[in-house]
């Protein structure tokens, strides 16, 4: 009886208390499950897999991301930044508008990222900007569009630099991060930058303005100014889409495409660049490459059928990593600001026409950030490239030396650069194919032409300034060397002569000149009769020519 009374006194023996205890326990378990589930959902929605696959607009960027150096960095670390959970939660809640746009299909293609966090809140959490990086040797391999797919290697040394001014560093490419560089961009993609401000380590401020932009003081005062950071150059570091020639070079380098296939670089690039409405059509179109070799190179195809088929499959696979028709996205959709080859990149500021109030400009120099590239053909030894830039004369440090050097290049240049030969065969310093033989449209420079005069004989020993020093553009200033002057005076030679050659163009001029219908005996001065008040005045385009020069082109009929 005593034990029974004690049992009745036990509060947990009461039915209501048991129910409350069970409810509390159930709520606790539910709370744990809810918190655990919330954490798991939070982690999953922050994962790259969720960002790349849950949204049907992201497959292009996700495909490129998986091949990038940041393939193990979560998307949110760049797009939302690295911060506390509460801050990130607020930013993520603000992106719910993307979900609404996705559900309602209220978005435009191609898609561009907006509202990216400053690099100081993302990139610089891993990459320390105060760290000084030594120079780095880079080798770029590409293949010529010829039968043998000739291999070429281009070497250069990148002056990465960085560090801080306090320890005597703060130069090279990463000087732009250590220093304060502000700019105004007039377009969403930040490809047009007409105004730049530099604040040096002493606090001195210098503004550089492109005078062709016609910026007003009011516009400069009110326009948004962005401080330059990593993303201004490395904007496609995680989402790069190779151009067709780059894609083919990569496939050949990685041996996914066999170099022994005739013209495979050229033909592969052709089918890659072709326009296709869908991926299915692209696969079929690229597949026709096998038919081409079967018909045009039957003997090679018969012995190397598997190589051709493997090449076709590799090109088809690469195409699907680069081109997304449904999102209107391909290699030409998003600018890549790293470098200055296919997009303006560095030339957005380093174009030689951003001037400060004292007349100085942002330098247009190849070797500020890297050495002058050197290309060697297959089988040739690697070039010797100096690790330092010592001994440069003051003229080489001029802001626009790259554009102006042709006006002053003379025999003294051979002391450092050796014998010169204009061209792009990489046989000497001046015939560098990375400089000549191509056009740099973003800065208005072009050496993508064949020299109008064959540089042989006496012309082979001429230096650039002999013809260019008195001209602001390439022209035939023959009178610099040829005396006496042309009988037509000091006019511009190409008014009559074409770049194809002097003899050929002279023959055309003579053939087009009408013959004189009378004898020339005793009539040396044509203007005696054909002056302004003469029997038959000379044509207006002959104005200024001397009467004794007419017979240079006009010959008497019958040779009299």
Which two structure tokens, joined as six digits, stand for 165? 């001014």
CA Rg, the chain, in Å? 35
Please report which confidence band the pLDDT of residue 454 belongs to, taking 50, 70 and 90 as the band edges.
confident
pLDDT level of residue 167 (50, 70, 90 thresholds): low
3-state DSSP assignment of residue 517: coil
**Close Cβ partners of 267 (under 8 Å, ≥ 6 residues apart):** 289, 292
The predicted model gives 480-488 an average pLDDT of 55
Please say if the pLDDT value at position 490 is more than 60.
no
The pLDDT score that the predictor gives to residue 475 is: 43
Looking at the predicted structure, is the pLDDT value of residue 79 above 70?
A: yes
Residue scoring higher pLDDT (387 or 217): 217
Task: Report the alpha-carbon distance of residue 60 to residue 113 in Å, rounded.
Answer: 13
Residue 300 and residue 220 in contact, taking contact as beta carbons nearer than 8 Å: no
Bridge partner residues of 161 (DSSP): 133
Length of the chain: 560
Q: Which helix (H) or strand (E) holds 207?
A: strand 205-209
pLDDT in tens, 364-386: 888 888 998 999 998 899 998 88
> Rounded CA gap, 329 and 316, in Å?
16
- Identify the three-state secondary structure at position 370: strand
How far CA 272 is from CA of 77, 323, 378, in Å, comes to 34, 9, 25
In sequence order, which residues have a C-beta less than 8 Å from that of residue 500 and are 6 or more positions away?
none
pLDDT at 474: 43
pLDDT at 12 over 80: no
Instruction: Report pLDDT digits (tens) over 182-212.
Output: 999 999 999 999 999 999 878 899 999 999 9
CA angle 304, 307, 311 (to 5 degrees): 145
Whole-angstrom Cα distance, residue 513 to residue 539?
Answer: 12
If pLDDT is split at 50, 70 and 90, which confidence band does 162 have?
confident
pLDDT over 50 at 160, yes or no: yes
Joined together, the tokens standing for residue 550 give 């007419």
Distance CA 459, CA 159 (A): 38
In percent, how much of the chain has pLDDT > 70? 82
Query: How far apart (Å, rounded) are the C-alpha atoms in residues 370 and 383?
Result: 15
What's the token pair of residue 280?
């299915």
Reduce the DSSP state of residue 393 to 3 states and report it: coil
Residue 291: pLDDT over 80: yes
Handedness of CA 48, 52, 53, 54 (dihedral sign): positive
- Give me the percent of the chain exceeding a pLDDT of 90: 37
Pairing of strands 195-199, 180-184: antiparallel
pLDDT-based confidence at residue 521 (cuts at 50, 70, 90): low
Among candidates 330, 240, 332, which has minimal Cα distance to 277? 330
Mean pLDDT of 148-159: 94
Task: Give me the pLDDT at residue 58, please.
Answer: 85
Residue 446, pLDDT score:
82
- In 117-166, DSSP assigns E strands to 132-133, 136-143, 151-158, 161-162
* Residue 398 binned pLDDT confidence (cut-offs 50, 70, 90): confident
Cβ–Cβ < 8 Å for 349, 183: yes
Helix, coil or strand: residue 162: strand
Burial of 313: CB neighbours in 10 Å, binned 0-12, 13-18, 19+: middle
Kindly report the number of other CB atoms within 10 A of residue 52's CB atom.
18
Q: Residue 473: pLDDT above 80? A: no
Tell me whether the omega of the peptide bond preceding residue 484 falls within 30 degrees of 0, making it cis.
yes
Predicted pLDDT of residue 481: 66
| Per-residue pLDDT at 444 exceeds 80 | yes
- Cβ atoms of 237 and 68 within 8 Å: the answer is yes
- Angle at CA 370, nearest 5°, toward 434 and 184? 100
Check pLDDT > 80 for residue 344.
yes
Q: Smallest Cα–Cα separation from 274: which of 325, 333, 342, 343? A: 325
pLDDT band at 355 (very low <50, low <70, confident <90, very high): very high
Q: Is the CB of residue 267 less than 8 Å from the CB of residue 288?
A: no
Count the neighbouring beta carbons within 10 Å of the beta carbon of residue 266.
Answer: 16
Q: How far apart are CA 134 and CA 342, in angstroms?
A: 26
Looking at residue 166, its pLDDT comes to 60
Q: If you average pLDDT over every residue of the chain, what do you get?
A: 82
Distance, CA of 536 to CA of 208 (rounded, Å):
59
Q: What is the mean pLDDT of residues 114-125?
A: 83
Which tokens go with 529? 């009769």
**Beta strands across the sheet bearing 151-158:** 136-143, 151-158, 374-377
pLDDT at 495: 54
């Amino acid at each position: 009886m005593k034990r029974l009374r004690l049992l009745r006194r036990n509060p947990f023996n009461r039915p209501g208390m048991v129910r409350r205890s069970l409810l509390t326990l159930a709520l606790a378990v539910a709370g744990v499950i809810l918190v655990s589930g919330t954490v798991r959902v939070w982690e999953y929605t922050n994962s790259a897999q969720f960002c790349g696959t849950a949204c049907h607009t992201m497959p292009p960027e996700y495909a490129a991301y998986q091949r990038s150096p940041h393939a193990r960095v979560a998307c949110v670390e760049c797009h939302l930044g690295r911060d506390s959970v509460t801050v990130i939660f607020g930013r993520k809640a603000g992106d719910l508008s993307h979900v609404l746009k996705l559900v309602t299909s209220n978005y435009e293609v191609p898609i561009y990222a907006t509202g990216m966090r400053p690099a100081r809140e993302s990139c610089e959490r891993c990459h320390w900007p105060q760290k000084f990086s030594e120079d780095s040797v880079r080798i770029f391999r590409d293949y010529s569009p010829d039968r043998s797919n000739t291999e070429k290697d281009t070497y250069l040394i990148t002056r990465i630099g960085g560090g801080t001014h306090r320890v005597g560093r703060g130069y090279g490419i990463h000087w732009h991060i250590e220093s304060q560089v502000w700019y105004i961009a007039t377009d969403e993609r930040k490809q047009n930058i007409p105004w730049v401000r530099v604040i040096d380590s002493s606090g001195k401020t210098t503004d550089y303005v492109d005078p062709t932009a016609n910026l007003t003081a009011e516009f400069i005062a009110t326009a948004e100014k962005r401080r330059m950071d990593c993303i201004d150059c490395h904007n496609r570091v995680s989402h790069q889409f190779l151009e067709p020639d780059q894609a083919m070079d990569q496939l050949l380098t990685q041996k996914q495409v066999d170099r022994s296939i005739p013209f495979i670089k050229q033909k592969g690039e052709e089918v890659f660049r072709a326009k296709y409405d869908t991926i299915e059509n692209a696969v079929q179109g690229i597949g026709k490459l096998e038919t081409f070799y079967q018909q045009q190179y039957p003997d090679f195809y018969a012995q190397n059928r598997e190589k051709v088929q493997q090449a076709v499959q590799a090109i088809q696979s690469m195409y699907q990593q680069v081109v997304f028709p449904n999102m209107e996205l391909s290699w030409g959709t998003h600018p890549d600001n790293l470098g200055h080859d296919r997009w303006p990149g560095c030339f957005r500021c380093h174009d030689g026409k951003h001037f400060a109030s004292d007349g100085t400009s942002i330098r247009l120099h190849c070797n500020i950030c890297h050495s002058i590239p050197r290309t060697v053909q297959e089988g040739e030894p690697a070039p010797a490239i100096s690790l330092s830039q010592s001994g440069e004369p003051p003229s080489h440090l001029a802001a626009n030396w790259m554009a102006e050097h042709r006006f002053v290049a003379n025999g003294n240049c051979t002391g450092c650069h050796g014998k010169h030969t204009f061209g792009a065969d990489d046989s000497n310093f001046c015939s560098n194919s990375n400089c000549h033989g191509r056009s740099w449209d973003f800065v208005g420079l072009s050496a993508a032409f064949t020299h109008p005069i064959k540089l042989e004989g006496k012309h082979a020993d001429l230096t650039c300034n002999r013809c260019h020093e008195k001209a602001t553009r390439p022209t035939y200033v023959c009178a610099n060397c040829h005396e006496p002057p042309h009988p037509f005076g000091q006019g511009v030679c190409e008014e009559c002569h074409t770049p194809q050659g002097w003899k050929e163009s002279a023959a055309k001029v003579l053939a087009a000149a009408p013959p004189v219908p009378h004898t020339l005996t005793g009539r040396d001065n044509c203007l005696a009769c054909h002056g302004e008040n003469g029997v038959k005045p000379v044509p207006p385009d002959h104005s200024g020519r001397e009467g004794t020069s007419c017979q240079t082109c006009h010959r008497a009929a019958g040779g009299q």
